[in-house]
Chains A and B, each alone.
Chain A
């Protein structure tokens, strides 16, 4: 063992080096907390793979790392967001929102004027050169910065630092004069930028030819409030509302993210605009999951029983063909069926009209849409049940059927008195997990109906499941409310997690027996 090449040790070190490098970079860019976290995880990893005391964890570490980063962390973060006000109105954290006030400026009475030149650098960035018009020895060059033509930045860009130039210093790069700047459409992005001198004076572009010094509009008071230098008004942050408010209690500026405790949960329970659709959606979600499970189980069981007849010809071919909806990627099947159920041009209505002379409104009528969803889910879901039931049927000894045949039973009695009682108990965990799967069956609803048709007087859809409803609250342009969505997500998780726990108890008890 000792003479062998130390592959494990070498690999550990090779993986630890980039991790340490990332830690270093993160620490330097001001993310000390995350840097420390990565450092701790790296040290843990090195310990686990080098110390003989931790061999067990060598097998667990990689899996747990992935699970931790992409399941547990998002989960905890989502639960945390559920306790905050975080939406399109409250997008920035407090420091960024306050920073916008700090960067508000106005041109004061004794503003100095500067000549400027822009130097294009080889790497696509720019350097700004400024020279005081009254005192040409006061010269500055900025750090390199980017100017994006056309794209308006959503958040105000940070101020660019200016450095004092010594009389002998020159700026490198290709100088751009005003006409060239205008022609390259750089004036607009330049106007959005502010520059700050070493003595903390803010400079901004005044007109085509010059820059001017600006004064900050707000001064910070020790108690956290801000005073307006121009009109003397005072605003202070209200952490309950997530806004700065003036003395009349009116909101000023942009909102910020703030902790609000159980506000989102209380809103779910009390706000009638949410509560109304929430209850209906919840009932539909439960009904959808329960009916889907029962119907897929019934059809799957029927097919499994039929295909279990040993003397039936072509069983293999039948079985293969009936598995098809499970074998074809689900997303394609859903979209294909969406086409077939198209209300005006789809094949289903074409057929129904031809035979029965009526065409259900699969898309615009709530009950039509629900029926379609259940039919499509039956079509997608029965093969799985069929496979599981087949497995269970094959584990039943054939002798009991022979015995019952002697007693003169028939197929129906065999099924109801022998097969079903034997198959049902071990099926329960499968049925519960199928229920939980359908409870959060995002793909089906999102791709098939998108939740539609719209519920009357609400922003929810008649066929929305809780999961798609919440997704829309979080991500639809009309109202991106991450806080509320995360609170609902947490409730959903508790519900489905509880189901999973019950399921585990069932399986555990079965295993003991």
Chain B
């Protein structure tokens, strides 16, 4: 194997012991060499896999800057253009309408796709806050209070939630259609109605929060009760402040899963200006002419902040996942 001495990158330098190690049987290595070999193999596997993970994202970023609409391909755009970004942000731009005559026309999105991202953030954030309120209070009852059939109800919640909501869409449609006749903001084609539908998906989070409450000893609350605090006060003043981490986890997990929710949103929201990110992003690719460039720009624009948020809160989330063990 040839090795360049001038620009030894991490991968090459870590492969080096592998090549030298193949001639010698591993058993004959001393512990230090064995550790080196082990680390080298590790780096090699990790970097190969990492390439597979990262390349698609790099390609999407490059597709968003590439002129024309091509499926993501290649790490660098050949012809750089900002047209897709302008479209997504709702900025007008010139486009050659007729290649022969060189005629141009001005293109501008009627509803800038950026709005879909904003709609999604609104719906997902409000729903997540609602989910925290509903599942937090219910989890408190399950963790600290006594009532009949408690464990049965708790299991029932989880089992019932296994019903595929996609297939209950007929019923959800009927409910919203009916409610909309009397209360406008509960009807079809409103984002508020979508929020209400999402508020039903709480049972997994009830389990998660209850699991967290169970790990907190009740002694503090009990002594507060003896000192004259009401039940509600001990819940709000004592338990809630200690439990903020789990609420952060629930918020992020539900926020991210709702950002990706497609079927219910696609049935409830009909007007283009009302769409969420999931519905809008798919609309670029659902039609016969696939608008990869616009999709890529929208994906990068909306994916980046959410990904960043997730990565920043990574430690919280991992803790929450491994303690509760429930995934949406």
**A residues within 8 Å of B by Cβ?**
1, 22, 25-26, 29, 34, 55-60, 62-64, 66-67, 69-75, 77-78, 81, 302-303, 306-307, 309, 311-313, 318, 320-333, 335-340, 342, 345-347, 350, 379, 384, 387-388, 390-392, 411, 429-430, 433-434, 436-437, 440, 442-443, 446-447, 467, 470-471, 474-475, 482, 485-486, 488-489, 492-493, 496-497, 499-501, 504
Tell yes or no: B184 within 8 A of A by CB: no
Please, could you name 17 A-B residue pairs with CB atoms under 8 Å apart, sorted by A? A55-B145, A66-B196, A67-B202, A70-B200, A75-B163, A81-B171, A327-B307, A331-B281, A339-B72, A339-B292, A339-B295, A340-B73, A347-B56, A347-B59, A411-B38, A485-B170, A500-B159
Tell yes or no: B94 within 8 A of A by CB: no
Q: B202 to chain A: which residues have CB within 8 Å?
A: 63, 66-67
The one of A59, A69, A313, A337 that contacts B56, using a Cβ cutoff of 8 Å: A337
Q: A488 to chain B: which residues have CB within 8 Å?
A: 167
Given A336-B72, A339-B292, A497-B163, decide whether A75 and B299 contact each other with a Cβ distance below 8 A.
no
Smallest beta-carbon distance A317→chain B, Å: 10
The answer to whether A74 touches B137 (Cβ under 8 A) is no
The answer to whether B310 touches A327 (Cβ under 8 A) is yes
Q: How distant is the Cα of A394 from the Cα of B130 in the complex, in angstroms?
A: 34
The answer to whether A350 touches B73 (Cβ under 8 A) is yes
The one of B53, B72, B200, B321 that contacts A347, using a Cβ cutoff of 8 Å: B72
Output the nearest chain B residue to A483 by Cβ-Cβ distance. B170
The one of B71, B155, B278, B318 that contacts A391, using a Cβ cutoff of 8 Å: B318
Tell yes or no: B45 within 8 A of A by CB: yes
The answer to whether A335 touches B285 (Cβ under 8 A) is yes
The answer to whether B302 touches A345 (Cβ under 8 A) is no
Given A56-B141, A391-B322, A500-B158, decide whether A327 and B306 contact each other with a Cβ distance below 8 A.
yes
The answer to whether B306 touches A328 (Cβ under 8 A) is yes
The answer to whether A443 touches B175 (Cβ under 8 A) is no
Smallest beta-carbon distance A28→chain B, Å: 11
Q: How distant is the Cα of A313 from the Cα of B14 in the complex, in angstroms?
A: 11
Output the nearest chain B residue to A307 by Cβ-Cβ distance. B46
Output the nearest chain B residue to A347 by Cβ-Cβ distance. B73
Residues 287-328 (chain B) with a chain A CB within 8 angstroms: 292, 295-296, 299, 302-303, 306-307, 310-311, 314, 317-318, 321-322, 325-327
Output the nearest chain A residue to B39 by Cβ-Cβ distance. A312
**B residues within 8 Å of A by Cβ?**
35, 38-39, 42-43, 45-46, 49-50, 52-57, 59-60, 63, 70-74, 130, 133-135, 137-138, 140-141, 145-147, 155, 157-172, 174-175, 178, 181-183, 196-197, 199-203, 206, 230-232, 235, 256-257, 259-260, 262-263, 277-278, 281-282, 285, 292, 295-296, 299, 302-303, 306-307, 310-311, 314, 317-318, 321-322, 325-327
Q: A327 to chain B: which residues have CB within 8 Å?
A: 256, 306-307, 310-311
Q: How distant is the Cα of A436 from the Cα of B303 in the complex, in angstroms?
A: 27
Smallest beta-carbon distance A450→chain B, Å: 9
Smallest beta-carbon distance B58→chain A, Å: 10
Given A71-B163, A328-B306, decide whether A56 and B146 contact each other with a Cβ distance below 8 A.
yes
Output the nearest chain B residue to A467 by Cβ-Cβ distance. B164
Given A347-B59, A504-B155, decide whether A436 and B306 contact each other with a Cβ distance below 8 A.
no
Given A59-B138, A70-B196, A489-B164, decide whether A306 and B171 contact each other with a Cβ distance below 8 A.
no
The one of A55, A331, A342, A429 that contacts B260, using a Cβ cutoff of 8 Å: A331
The one of B147, B163, B167, B322 that contacts A485, using a Cβ cutoff of 8 Å: B167
Q: How distant is the Cα of A64 from the Cα of B263 in the complex, in angstroms?
A: 24
Q: How distant is the Cα of A384 from the Cα of B325 in the complex, in angstroms?
A: 10
Q: How distant is the Cα of A335 from the Cα of B292 in the complex, in angstroms?
A: 10
The answer to whether B168 touches A312 (Cβ under 8 A) is no
Q: A332 to chain B: which residues have CB within 8 Å?
A: 260, 281, 299, 302-303
The one of B73, B155, B314 that contacts A320, using a Cβ cutoff of 8 Å: B314
Q: B317 to chain A: which residues have CB within 8 Å?
A: 387
Q: How distant is the Cα of A312 from the Cα of B39 in the complex, in angstroms?
A: 6
| A interface: dominant SS | helix
Given A75-B163, A77-B168, A390-B318, decide whether A331 and B158 contact each other with a Cβ distance below 8 A.
no
The one of A325, A339, A345 that contacts B53, using a Cβ cutoff of 8 Å: A325
Q: A64 to chain B: which residues have CB within 8 Å?
A: 138
The answer to whether B200 touches A67 (Cβ under 8 A) is yes
**Max count, chain B CB within 10 A of own CB: residue among A29, A55, A70:** A70
Q: A67-B203, A440-B166 are in contact. List 20 more A-B contacts (CB 8 A).
A: A56-B141, A60-B141, A63-B138, A64-B138, A70-B197, A71-B160, A74-B165, A75-B171, A306-B45, A329-B277, A331-B277, A332-B303, A336-B56, A345-B71, A347-B56, A347-B72, A391-B321, A433-B326, A433-B327, A440-B164
The answer to whether B147 touches A71 (Cβ under 8 A) is no
Q: How distant is the Cα of A504 from the Cα of B206 in the complex, in angstroms?
A: 15
The one of B49, B175, B306 that contacts A329, using a Cβ cutoff of 8 Å: B306
Q: B63 to chain A: which residues have CB within 8 Å?
A: 339
Smallest beta-carbon distance A41→chain B, Å: 14
**Max count, chain A CB within 10 A of own CB: residue among B35, B165, B171, B263:** B171
Given A311-B39, A324-B57, A447-B282, decide whether A475 and B169 contact each other with a Cβ distance below 8 A.
yes
Q: How distant is the Cα of A225 from the Cα of B256 in the complex, in angstroms?
A: 56
Q: How distant is the Cα of A472 from the Cα of B199 in the complex, in angstroms?
A: 26
Q: How distant is the Cα of A321 from the Cα of B310 in the complex, in angstroms?
A: 12
Q: How distant is the Cα of A219 from the Cα of B228 in the complex, in angstroms?
A: 75
The answer to whether A340 touches B59 (Cβ under 8 A) is yes
Q: How distant is the Cα of A437 from the Cα of B292 in the complex, in angstroms?
A: 29
The one of A63, A309, A338, A345 that contacts B285, using a Cβ cutoff of 8 Å: A338
**Max count, chain B CB within 10 A of own CB: residue among A29, A60, A485:** A60
The answer to whether B170 touches A486 (Cβ under 8 A) is yes
The one of A62, A440, A504 that contacts B137, using a Cβ cutoff of 8 Å: A62
The answer to whether A492 touches B164 (Cβ under 8 A) is yes
Sort A-B residue pairs by CB-CB distance and give the 5 closest, nearest first: A70-B200, A391-B322, A63-B138, A74-B168, A489-B167
